[in-house]
Amino acid sequence: MSTESPDRGLDDVAADQRALIRAFRDNGSASFDTLGVEAARASYTAGCASNGLLRVELARVEDMNIGAEQDLPIRLYSNYPVGSARPVLLFAHGGGWVMGSPDTHDTLCRYLAAHADVAVVSVDYRLAPEYPYPAAVEDMRTATRWLMDHGIEHGLDVERVIVGGDSAGGQLAAASAAECPRVRAQMLLYPVLSLAMDTASYHRVQHGFPLTAATMHWFTDLYLGGIATPRDAPDLNPGLHPHPIPTFLSTVGNDPLCDEGIDYAATLAACGAPITHIHLPRHAHGLFTSAGVVATGRAVLDQACVFLAAIAHEEVDRGFAPTGEPEGAQR
């Protein structure tokens, strides 16, 4: 454990996220792994509610259960009636496979549906440690199959399916894209892409943030459930098995997941995939569930909406957008 003052390093945090990180450090720098499962879940839920985007009203928000046993909850968001088939984003929320739900990401999904001209299906996949790997992966497979087989019945264009998610949800989304050739594109927000956990960013981000290297090890241990799971399984490491489709990828520097995301972007580009990679070197993990108070989070989501709308209208090509920060990003 570092003996540095909690306030040291704040100059390395972007101006519009600095107040949140300062408050976190002033309150003891209790990263999720120090709280225990139930307290971490409560803290995460409270933070998403306090710092998330304002709630956008949509024409249609519907909860339903899908799957052979009708036991997988999803939430469908759309600004269009059932009779109008819309491109669809299949979304997996973040939270380290341990925390989160469609409720924690409700305002984010509403924002994407309202501004990207797509419907959104948010998957309430099972969480660890109660349901360890591969439960979450299986639930995403179930949701993908349901969408492809029955989406048209709910006003969803199954020929224009995008997968997306933040953090652990990004891993689930990228794994789904690699497994399903009908997926058209992916939107990944600081995703987990490898369980190797040996990059320089893992060594760099070890204290002073809600998500640290220790937090990721804690999440992973809970997710794998203590069983002899092969950590090199493809669905645990989608960064090692890239699917060269149009991709929107955001990474942040104050994040143990930073380097694997940057490496993935380079790999996709080398494969010839259209890639929009926005890297924010001084922002931290949690940017998008705090987009109500961190202006850059909303700015990046606006760029994600441009990408999603381009997919929806079949306008993506290799020159779609450059790698870089969004206009107005706080440095």
Which residue of the set 105, 154, 277, 285 is catalytic? Answer: 285
C-alpha 247/C-alpha 266 separation (Å) is 12
**Which tokens is 19 given?**
């107040």
Which residue of the set 255, 259, 283, 290 is catalytic? Answer: 255
C-alpha 185/C-alpha 307 separation (Å) is 10
**Which tokens is 136 given?**
């979450």
C-alpha 173/C-alpha 168 separation (Å) is 9
Cα 229 to the center of its chain, rounded Å: 23
C-alpha 264/C-alpha 251 separation (Å) is 10
For residue 43, indicate whether it is catalytic: no
In angstroms, the first-to-last Cα distance of the chain is: 28
For residue 259, indicate whether it is catalytic: no
* Pairing mode of beta strands 156-166, 119-123: unpaired
Asked if 118 and 162 touch (Cβ cutoff 8 Å), the reply is: yes
Which residue of the set 31, 78, 122, 167 is catalytic? Answer: 167
Query: What backbone torsions phi and psi does residue 312 show, to the nearest 5 degrees?
Result: -60, -35
C-alpha 308/C-alpha 246 separation (Å) is 10
CA 81 vs CA 68, 74, 109, 154, 308: distances in Å: 26, 18, 17, 9, 19
- Which of these, 281, 219, 272, lies nearest to 247 by C-alpha position? 272
For residue 122, indicate whether it is catalytic: no
Which residues are the active-site residues? 167, 255, 285
